[in-house]
Amino acid sequence: MKLLDGRAVSKEILKKVKEDIDHHIDKKHLGYNLSRPSMAIVLVGHNAASESYVRAKTKACEKADINYKIIRFDENISAFELISEIKLLNKSHFDGFIVQLPLPDHIEPNSIINEISAYKDIDGFHPLNFGKMALGQKSMRPATAYGILKLLQYYNIPTNSQHVVVIGRSNIVGKPISIMLGNDFEVGRSTVTSCDIHTPKELLKEESQKADIVIVAVGQPGFLTADMIKEGAVVIDVGINRLESGKLVGDCDFDGVSKKADYLTPVPGGVGPMTIAGLILNTYEAWKMKNLIDE
Ligand code: NDP
């Protein structure tokens, strides 16, 4: 079994993004001096997991030499006030920004996401970007799905004509990865079975046992067990769960699955860093779009 090292692949992607930005800045563009890309991160309240994700995102910005700013708001901010801030960010100099989820319970996340300019939506969650992505058009791509595809591509894992089972159908992970794998992304077109909590347990198991690639994103430790996959499968574990002991684990029974799978993403160090790579790639795209750089 080979571990898919998201940390190492992400590092390479960030290095390449930095070099590409340097190249454009050195070359100048249309006779202008370009400033480096910039990202803003909106953080509401003090969620411990969010703080740690934001730290990882700012570290990635530093590696890619992308300017960033964390913009903090009190957890009692109203949805109306937050939307006003988003509208200001839409008009700001930042090439892209994210609103770190989850938001406090009194703020419905879609009411905020829908207000983000689609051009600055580097998480790829805005309905316009999601729609374009679903139609196979150029768009900001949902960052986790984008990162997973880049990881598969890096390891030359074929997806064209492969049977993929995606477990979990959230708007930010399960749904976009199911759609992107069924589209002509750079890695080809898969046959995708998408499962969620409404999928009968036995049917889910029957399907996952036949799959060449299983992507699990449910948020439950130990959900995917060895008896649910075939020998030699590729397993992408998206889950991030913190156990009472403080240990971080994914959605797989790692010990069992690692004995049967050919490839497996570790948690931490698998999909997490690739999500951040997806975010950085989207920021680079937003910057190129704003500066009319066409490659
Ligand atoms: P959500 O809770 O939004 O979605 C979970 C999905 O799993 C839902 O579609 C749900 O179905 C489905 N589900 C729940 N229980 C079952 C079950 N027993 N059988 C089949 N499907 C089930 O979570 P997210 O998609 O946001 O995140 C999933 C996990 O991935 C979490 O651990 C999260 O922390 C992690 N994550 C990791 C990222 C990374 O970068 N590595 C990025 C984002 C998330 P239904 O909708 O019907 O309830």
* pLDDT tens digits along 204-237: 999 999 999 999 999 999 999 999 999 999 999 9
Q: What is the pLDDT of residue 120?
A: 98
**What topology is assigned to 31-117 in CATH?**
Rossmann fold (3.40.50)
Q: Map tokens 């829908």 to a residue.
A: 114
Put simply, whether the predicted model's pTM sits higher than 0.80 gets the answer: yes
Q: What is the pLDDT of residue 29?
A: 67
* Numbered residues of the known binding site for NADP(+): 168-170, 197, 240
Expressed in angstroms and rounded, the spacing between residue 167 Cα and the centre of ligand 1 is 8
| pLDDT: which is higher, 26 or 85 | 85
Please give the Cα distance from 212 to 157 (Å, whole number): 10
Are the beta carbons of 164 and 211 closer than 8 angstroms? yes
Tell me the best of 125, 202, 240 to mutate to test the pocket of ligand 1, counting ligand atoms within 8 Å of each CB and taking the most: 240
Cβ of residue 240 lying under 6 Å from some atom of ligand 1: yes
Q: What is the pLDDT of residue 187?
A: 66
In whole angstroms, how far apart are CA 188 and each of 124, 133, 147, 149, 274? 21, 15, 15, 10, 19
15-29, 35-49, 56-70, 157-171 — which is least confidently predicted?
15-29
Find the helix or strand (DSSP H, E) in which 192 lies: strand 191-195
ipTM confidence: 0.98
Expressed in angstroms and rounded, the spacing between residue 171 Cα and the centre of ligand 1 is 9
What does the pLDDT average to over 96-116?
A: 98
Q: What is the pLDDT of residue 27?
A: 82
Nearest protein CA to atom 42 of ligand 1, as residue: 144
Please give the Cα distance from 108 to 115 (Å, whole number): 12
Tell me the best of 4, 151, 165, 173 to mutate to test the pocket of ligand 1, counting ligand atoms within 8 Å of each CB and taking the most: 173
Residues of the chain with CATH 3.40.50.720: 143-272
Cβ of residue 273 lying under 6 Å from some atom of ligand 1: no
Nearest protein CA to atom 3 of ligand 1, as residue: 170
pLDDT digits (tens, 9 = 90+) for 228-278: 999 999 999 999 999 999 999 999 999 999 999 999 999 999 999 999 999
| Positions marked catalytic | 57, 100, 123
Peptide bond into 142 cis (omega under 30): no
- The model's confidence at residue 185, banded by pLDDT at 50, 70 and 90, is low
Architecture of domain 143-272: 3-Layer(aba) Sandwich (3.40)
